[in-house]
Every structure is written in structure tokens, then in C-alpha cells.
Structure 1
Amino acid sequence: MKRSIEQAQERLANDLLRRRDVVAVGIGADNGEPCLKVYVSGRGDRRSIPRRYDGHRVRVVGGGPFRAQADGPAAGSR
């Protein structure tokens, strides 16, 4: 049974956030389709991250370092 993308995101986050190279797991879009996004710092080990999870596509976003930003559209205009 396919889980909702929100349930899959929560389960995948519980599985991956123990790793030092994984900084966040979220829900996004890839070519207009909903997907799970795994954010890794630096190069991270992308090979060990599944391409699909609970029936949903997974995309890995590399980069770093990541920084938290304030919420809301006016946050950047202060």
C-alpha cells in the first residue's frame, strides 16, 4: 500500500537524519510531480539514498553548507 507523501517524508527523515551528511528531508516537486527531497551537505553518499521510497520518487539535493532562513515573504526585505 502506497503511503501519503507526508507519511513517506516522515519515515524517510527518521531513517536518514541519523547520518551526518543528511541535513533535511522535505517534500518538493520534480518536473511538476511531487517528490521527496533529501538535502545532503557537501558531496554526501548519494548512492545509499533510495531513488524511490514508499512509492514516491526521491531526489537528492547537494550543496552546503545550508543555512536556515526566516519564514515568510517579507523576511528577505527587512
Structure 2
Amino acid sequence: MNTAGSVAYGWGALIVAAGVSFYYAKKEIDARRKDATLRGNRPLEKLSWEEKIAQQASLGDKNLKPIQDSIPKEAFKPPEAK
């Protein structure tokens, strides 16, 4: 049942399937990146995390709304004892 040939065939099929999947996934991801760059949604320059934080801080609080503001205040109250 599990001869050396069948194991090699299984591994070979797995490697080929993974390679084909990688090729098509990479092709689609590259197309999405190119489309986002053309539409202007993707920045052209690479920023470090410090530069990203400084850029977001300069945009103001409208883009940095804390998650607590979006959670209802009732969620922070302790449950009532019975």
C-alpha cells in the first residue's frame, strides 16, 4: 500500500499543486496591488512604523478614534447582583 513509489508520487503531486496555487495567488495579489496603486489607495513610499504613527497623528483624531468610543457605555457597567 504505502510503497516508496506511492509516497514519492503523493509528495510530488502535493509540491506541484502548491506551486501552481502559489503562482496564481501571487499573480492575483500583484494585480490587486497594481490596481490599488493606480487608484491611489496604496502609498508609493514605504514608511517605518514611527513614520506611520507620526503621519496618522498629524491627520488628527478623526482617523484615530479609540475603540472604546464605538462600544456602548452599557457594556462597561458591571452586571447587577440579584
Which structure shows the bigger proportion of residues in strand conformation?
1
Report if TM-score (shorter chain) is over 0.5: no
Which interval holds the TM-score relative to the shorter structure?
Answer: under 0.3
Higher Cα radius of gyration = 2
Higher relative contact order (CA 8 A, sep 6+): 1
Which structure shows the bigger proportion of residues in helix conformation?
2
Tell me the TM-score normalised to structure 1 length.
Answer: 0.25
Tell me the TM-score normalised to structure 2 length.
Answer: 0.24
